[in-house]
A = this chain, B = another copy of it.
Amino acid sequence: MKILPLAAGVAIACASLAWAADEPIQPIVPPSRINAGMAELGKKLFFDPRLSKSGFISCNSCHNLSMGGSDNLPTSIGDNWHEGPINAPTVLNASMNLAQFWDGRAKDLQAQAGGPIANPGEMASSHTLAVAVVESIPGYRSEFKSVFGKDQVGIEEVTAAIAEFEKTLVTPNSRFDQWLLGKKDALSGEELAGYKLFKESGCVTCHNGPAVGGNSFQKLGVVEPFHTKNAAVGRSAVTGKDADRMHFKVPTLRNVELTYPYFHDGSAHTLKDAVDTMARVQLGKKLSEADNGRIVAFLKTLTGEQPSFKLPQLPPSVEATPQPQPFARKS
């Protein structure tokens, strides 16, 4: 149901692409090749808390599709109320990221999807257990068979389906994209002034492309150090290179109005704070209140159409399904 409108969006985007090519930000082009059956299966899995040890936490718990694909918390709550180490990045438009997680340790959405399931501080299951749960449920078994054409389910199929669903989670048709595509009155004078400032101040050096970010790793704290109590070291945890310390994936600014709080430590609660800090530590600039307001006004034009679909119904467990262990650690 979701796929056809997206395809129509592609056609519109392509027709006007020549115009948009003059700008450092491009309109969102929805994916044209989605396996609809696989995405529907992935949607169920995305909402299914049985992929967690407790039976309580689903992908949607921290990447809540009612709230910009995020949890709107500084860092996330995991199994047994574990305090997560880092801010949950939005899943919206995540297919456009050059890699997944703040430090880019997963090469794509499928590789990412397996992480939280087996992370003891997040969903706290294991790939073996999650697959055993899914395989035990007749409703899932038949759907996997129909999508993948084989009887055995493995973690590869589970994560492939989740990733396929996540590829549909794009947010086209923001007011900014309408403007990019030629609708000159889509933005107000203040919003346009904010976009001009966004380009001239240097924000656009890192926040560019269709996702307005997500396409490079950059050092956090170029001009001034970024002060944080958060222990994450960023990209160096992956590369082992000291030079990559405090380098993080530049987050997308698409739907940034919805994905508060900001930064990997969730320390900025408002766009105003986030813009102020970025200007200072990345660009060595002190923005006036009016200029800050203009940039924030521009950023709010990046809110696109949110994913629109029916709440999925999950196939029920049966006697053979491994039971959730919500309180195992406390007993």
Contacts and interface: CB of A to CB of B under 8 A. Distances in A.
Interface in A56-88: 56, 61, 64-68, 71-74, 77, 80-81, 83
A161 B10 CA distance: 39
A319 B257 contact: no
B55 A323 contact: no
Interface in A285-324: 306-314, 316-317, 319, 323-324
Contact of A61 (B56, B312, B314): B56
B56 A314 contact: no
B316 A260 contact: yes
A317 B47 contact: no
B269 A72 contact: no
A202 interface: no
Interface in A79-134: 80-81, 83
Contacts of A55: 71-73
Q: How many copies does the complex hold?
A: 2
B313 A310 contact: no
A200 B316 CA distance: 29
B77 A56 contact: yes
A241 interface: no
A74 B56 CA distance: 12
Contacts of A74: 326
A95 to B, nearest CB: 19
A197 interface: no
A47 B66 contact: yes
A142 interface: no
A313 B324 contact: no
A233 to B, nearest CB: 22
A73 B56 contact: yes
Contact of A309 (B66, B68, B311): B311
Contacts of A61: 56
16 contacts: A48-B66, A54-B73, A55-B71, A55-B72, A55-B73, A56-B71, A56-B73, A66-B312, A67-B316, A72-B317, A74-B326, A257-B316, A269-B319, A306-B313, A309-B310, A309-B311
Interface of A: 47-50, 54-56, 61, 64-68, 71-74, 77, 80-81, 83, 257-258, 260, 269-270, 272, 306-314, 316-317, 319, 323-324, 326-327, 330
